[in-house]
Amino acid sequence: MKTDSKSAATDAGAGTEKWLRMYRGMQMIRLFEEQVNDLYTRAVMPGLAHLYIGEEAVAVGICEALHRDDYITSTHRGHGHCLAKGASPDRMFAELLGKEAGYCKGKGGSMHIADPASGNLGANAIVGGSAGIATGAAFSAKNRGTKQVAVCFFGEGALGQGLLYEVMNLARLWNLPVIYVCENNMYNEYTHFSETTAGEILARPAAFGIPAESVDGQDARAVHAVASRLVEQARAGMGPSFLLANTYRYHGHHVGDVSRDYYRAKQEEQSWKAERDPIKILSDWLVGEKIAAQPQLDEIQAQAKSEIAAAVDFALKSPYPGVDKVGEDVYA
């Protein structure tokens, strides 16, 4: 997003701490996911994982606009959302490795992490599966008069799920404080979204009378600006909204999707990494506006690396749950 000098100065004056916090948050997600990929390829981590690398600006830009007790629901590609909302990387790694110290005591794994203490009602392996949960949370918040807001993250593949439209209909009828965030990373698993999605995406929420807009999902400042406005509108009782964040995943659909030549070109991936990297876009702005010097950003990255390394070490050394625990937490 291009800005003139006046708007750039206004952004800079909005709070150096916030911008550095967002930069750190994006680095934490990137480094976390790189470690996930390493653990999987070394056969240390069971199951699969769906990496969020390349999409960090969406999770961080939106969650920075939320209060801790606001709600989010996530997707099978949900590590970034979980971290951005305030989860601890050590307990997240423990969950991915099936350890008892994990958020779901090692029983949920990569695609089912939940942390109610930070407002995360859970990731969901079912495409679009958490749309009803987020809408229900917004219904509860409105009934209780708490001014809490719910954000429902989903990929563009969920635009083919009927549940999403059922709950958007109810959200508009009941004027619920929920924001539907479509992270369009262009590919439904191995198929370009243009081959699976008819018409214009923003026309779909518009059919329910839900205000909808799009944003450059690689620009954390642009995402945060729109999210802040939509969150405040929802908190003020103005009902649901829909945000289309156009982004890109650097890796495959999951960690086992290594060779992607049959559905997208290497040149496309390289172009996004070189020209549209969300961390570089934010760091270039921070340095260009003299909000931070490069050595300061390097130090933030180094600290994040140290924290992630310690989290992996914690998870590797943590015990697995005992066999006697298999029947626990099956029912509320």
The pTM for the full model equals 0.93
User: Quick one: pLDDT at residue 261?
Assistant: 84
Each residue's pLDDT, cut to its tens digit, for the chain (332 residues) gives 333 434 444 455 568 999 999 999 999 999 999 999 999 999 999 988 999 999 999 999 999 999 999 999 999 999 999 999 999 999 999 999 999 999 999 999 999 999 999 999 999 999 999 999 999 999 999 999 999 999 999 999 999 999 999 999 999 999 999 999 999 999 988 899 999 999 999 999 999 999 999 999 999 999 999 999 999 999 999 999 999 999 999 988 898 888 888 889 899 899 999 999 999 999 999 999 999 999 999 999 999 999 999 999 999 999 999 999 988 987 77
Kindly list the distances between the CA atom of residue 9 and the CA atoms of 38, 50, 191, 292, in Å, as whole numbers in the listed order. Answer: 40, 37, 41, 14
Phi first, then psi: what are they for 82, rounded to 5°?
Answer: -60, -45
